Structure formats: structure tokens, C-alpha cells
């Protein structure tokens, strides 16, 4: 009898080890940050200059800095 193993990524494995009551996990699970990209889409040119970093990611980095930055 053959058993089928599913492929699990390294990040998925790490995420499963984060406690359910972790503040950052609660934020990630309950807040939808996708509105940020839409809100700021007119602030970035699609045609000129280098591509911008995703605004949603930048806001998440600012939250991390607020919690853990010095």
C-alpha cells in the first residue's frame, strides 16, 4: 500500500508553530490589508521609474517595526 505525502513549504511549517494567541497572528487573521494597495494606486506610476514596493507590504513592515523596532 502506497501512502501519498503532501508537499509542505518551510513557511507553512513555521506558521503552524506560531501560537494562536500571538499578537501578529491575530492581526494577520483578522485584518484585511488589501485595501491599502487600492487606496494608494494613483500615487505610483505604472510606466515611469522603478517599480514601487507593494504598499501593503510596507504597512506590514511598519507594524513590525512598531512592535519590535528600537
Residues 41 and 24: their CA atoms lie apart, in Å, by 26
Residues 8 and 63: their CA atoms lie apart, in Å, by 28
- Report yes or no: 34 and 57 within 8 Å, Cβ to Cβ: no
Q: What are phi and psi of 54, to 5 degrees?
A: -65, 125
Task: For residue 1, give the C-alpha cell.
Answer: 500500500
> What is the chain's mean pLDDT, rounded?
83
Place of cell 505604472: 46
Residues 20-40 have pLDDT tens digits of: 999 988 998 899 998 998 898
Q: Is this prediction's pTM over 0.75?
A: no
Amino acid at each position: 500500500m502506497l501512502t501519498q505525502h503532501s508537499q509542505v513549504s518551510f513557511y507553512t511549517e513555521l506558521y503552524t508553530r506560531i501560537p494562536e494567541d500571538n499578537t501578529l497572528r491575530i492581526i494577520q487573521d483578522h485584518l484585511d490589508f488589501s485595501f491599502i494597495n487600492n487606496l494608494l494606486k494613483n500615487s505610483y506610476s505604472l510606466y515611469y521609474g522603478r517599480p514601487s514596493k507593494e504598499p501593503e507590504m510596507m504597512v506590514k513592515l511598519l507594524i513590525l517595526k512598531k512592535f519590535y523596532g528600537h
